[in-house]
A and B are shown apart, each in its own frame.
Chain A
Amino acid sequence: MTAAPDHAPTMTRLSAADRLAKAAPFLLVPVLILAGFLAIGTTSSWLTLTVSGLAMGMMIFVMASGLTLVFGLMDVINFGHGAFVSLGAFVGISVLLALPGWTAEPSLALNLAAVLLAIACAMVLTGLSGWAFERVIVRPVYGAHLKQILVTVGGLIVIEQLIHVIWGPDEIFLNRPETLQGAVTFAGAALEKYRILAVVFGLAIFLAMRLILRRTKIGLIVRAGVQNGQMVESLGYRLRLVFIGVFVAGSALAGLGGVMWGLYQEVITAGMGERMMILVFIVVIIGGLGSVEGAFIGALLVGLMQNYIAFLEPKLALISNIGLMTAILMWRPQGMMPVVKAK
C-alpha cells in the first residue's frame, strides 16, 4: 500500500457561539415555557396550559413527521396529507364506537386496548390508502410542484367526499373511554388525563422514530436520501421503494394523529385534517424541510404558543403561529434544522 503523507489532523473545537447556534432550536422550547410562566403568573394555569400545549404539539408532530420526510426524500409537496388525518379519525373513532363495552368500562386495560385497536385499524387503513394515493395520484407528477399541489388537493377533496358518503355529512361527537376522562390534580393544576397520555404517546413515537432513523440501515438510507437522493441511488439503493415505504408510514402516522386529535377534541369532521394542515405546514416549514427533530421542536412551539396566547390574549391566538413562523424564518430562513437545502 502506498503510504499517505504523515500528518496528524485534528478537528477544531466549535466556538461557544457556534455551539449555542447549533443548540438554539432545542433551547427554544424551555425558553418558551419559561416565558409562558413569567407571562401567565399563576403556576396552576401555567401548568395546565403547558401540558395542553405539549399534548397538542405532540399530536401535530405525529401528523407532520411523515410529511416532512416525504418532501425531503422525493421533493413531493403533498397537500392531500390532511385527508389521512380525517380518514384515520373516522376509522379509529368508528372502531371505538363499535366497542362500547370496552370503552364504557372503568378499566384502564380495557380502555387502552380499545384505543390501541382503534389506532391499529386506523393506521392500517390509512397506510393502505397512502400506498394507493402514491401510486395513483403522486407518482405521475414527480418533479412537477404545481401539478403536485393541484392533484393532491384534488385527492384531498375526493377522500373528504368519500368520508361524507360512508359516514354521512354530520360531525360525530364522542366520549373518551371511561378512564381517560376527567383530570388529575397536580400542584393545584387540573391536568386532563388524556392530554398526559397524548404527551407520553407522542414522546414515545418521536423516540421510536429517532431510534429507527439513527440506529438502523433503513433510517440511514432515509436520512441520506433526504440530503442527496441521487447519491444514495448511486450506492445501489432503490430510493423509490424507500420513498413508497416512507409515504405509507407517513400516511399511517397521519391516521394515528387523526385518532389522537379526534379523542382530544371529542368531535370529528371530514374537514378536520384539511384544517389541521395549516398548523402541520407551519411546523414542517419552521422545523426545516426533511427534519424530524425540527418538526418535533416546531410542533411543540406551535402547541405551546397557541395555548399560551389563547389564554393571555384570545384575539391574537389565530395569528400567533403565523407570527411564530415569521419570527423563525427571519432568524433562520430555511427553518430551524433544515436537512434539505433550498431546492
Chain B
Amino acid sequence: MSDDVLRIEGLHTDIAQYHILEGVDLSVPRGAVTMLLGRNGVGKTTTLRTIMGHWAAKSGSITYDGQDITAWPTPARARAGIGFVPEDMGIFTDLTVEENMVLAAASGPLDATRLETVFAAFPPLRTFWKSEAGNLSGGQKQMLSIARAMAEERKLYLIDEPTKGLAPAIVSTMAGALRELKRAGASILLVEQNFAVAKALGDHAAVMDDGRIVWTGAMAELAADAGLQERLMGLSMEVTG
C-alpha cells in the first residue's frame, strides 16, 4: 500500500461555466505537511473543496486512505477522517465557542483530553468558552476554526489559508498549533500565502498554476531557490522567519 494518505489523479472540476481544475495530480504523504502554493485564482481552494466534496469532480479520481472517495458525499468524507478548515473559517457565529466544539465532535461527546490539548494550543478559547463565536476577534475565530478540526482524531487535515489577515503574534500561535498537529503524526494539506509560514511548516510543496500542479518537490528545495519561486509563483522574496 502506498504511503500517501491522499492521491489525486487527473482531477477536473467545473464551477458553473468555468473550468477551474484542469487535471490536478497530487499526492499527500502520510504524516507530513504538504503545502499547496500558487498565485491567487489558480485553483487551490477549489482543489480543497473538491477533495471535501463541496464541488463534484467532473473527471479524475480522489483516493483517500486506499479508498476511492470521488463519489462520496461530504459527510462520508468527514466521517472517514478528513478535517476541513475553510478559508472563511466557517464558524457558526450564533453558537457559543463551546457549542461549536461540541458540534465538531460528530462521533460522540467531546473528549476531555483532546479539549485540554486544544486549550493549550489556543488559550483564548478557554476564556471565551461560553461566549458567542460571532463576538470573537478574527484571530480567535481562526483559532476556533482549527480547534474544531482538532476536536476529533483525523487522518488528514485540509486547511485553507489559516494565517490570512492575522497579526504576527496570532500567526505564531497558528503555526505552533499546526506544528503540534504535525508532531502528533497528522497529515496536512495546507494552502498558505505566507511564505515564511510555508517554509517553516512544509515538508513537501506542490505549486499550482492554471488549474494544474506545475511543480512538486521538497519545501526546502523551493524555499532555497528564489529563481524557482519567481518562475513558479511570480515571487521573488527574501524568506524570513
- The residues of A with any CB-CB pair to B shorter than 8 Å are 1-5, 7-11, 217, 220-221, 223-224, 227-228, 230-239, 339
Question: Which residue of B has the minimal Cβ distance to A7?
Answer: B169
B78 pairs with A234, CB closer than 8 A: yes
A233 pairs with B75, CB closer than 8 A: yes
A230 pairs with B54, CB closer than 8 A: yes
- B52 contacts which chain A residues (CB < 8 A)? 234
**A-B residue pairs in contact (CB < 8 Å), sample of 23:** A1-B121, A2-B179, A4-B120, A4-B121, A4-B176, A5-B172, A7-B123, A8-B127, A9-B124, A9-B128, A10-B127, A11-B131, A220-B95, A224-B92, A227-B94, A228-B90, A228-B92, A232-B103, A234-B78, A235-B104, A236-B107, A237-B106, A339-B94
- The residues of B with any CB-CB pair to A shorter than 8 Å are 52, 54, 73-75, 78-79, 84, 86, 90, 92-95, 99, 102-104, 106-107, 117, 120-124, 127-128, 131, 135, 137, 140, 148, 169, 172-173, 176-177, 179-180
Question: Which residue of A has the minimal Cβ distance to B176?
Answer: A2
Query: Which single member of A217, A233, A238, A239 contacts B102 (CB below 8 Å)?
Result: A217
B140 pairs with A9, CB closer than 8 A: yes
Summed over the interface, the residue pairs from A and B with CB atoms below 8 Å come to a total of 87
Question: Which residue of B has the minimal Cβ distance to A241?
Answer: B75
- A1 contacts which chain B residues (CB < 8 A)? 117, 120-121, 180
Question: Which residue of B has the minimal Cβ distance to A224?
Answer: B92
Q: DSSP majority for the A interface?
A: loop
Within the assembled complex, what's the spacing in Å between the Cα atoms of A2 and B174? Answer: 10
A4 pairs with B148, CB closer than 8 A: no
Within the assembled complex, what's the spacing in Å between the Cα atoms of A239 and B128? Answer: 28
Q: Give B208 Cβ to nearest chain A Cβ, in Å.
A: 22
A231 pairs with B94, CB closer than 8 A: no
Question: Which residue of B has the minimal Cβ distance to A6?
Answer: B123
Closest 10 CB pairs of A and B: A2-B176, A236-B106, A236-B78, A231-B90, A233-B74, A236-B79, A224-B92, A234-B84, A4-B173, A9-B124
- B74 contacts which chain A residues (CB < 8 A)? 230, 233-234
Within the assembled complex, what's the spacing in Å between the Cα atoms of A115 and B93? Answer: 41
In the complex with contacts A1-B180, A5-B173, A234-B90, A223-B75 CB distance below 8 A: no
- B103 contacts which chain A residues (CB < 8 A)? 217, 220-221, 224, 232, 235
Within the assembled complex, what's the spacing in Å between the Cα atoms of A339 and B92? Answer: 10
Query: Which single member of A9, A217, A227 contacts B93 (CB below 8 Å)?
Result: A227
Q: Give A23 Cβ to nearest chain B Cβ, in Å.
A: 15
Question: Which residue of A has the minimal Cβ distance to B127?
Answer: A9
Q: Give A239 Cβ to nearest chain B Cβ, in Å.
A: 8
- A238 contacts which chain B residues (CB < 8 A)? 73, 75
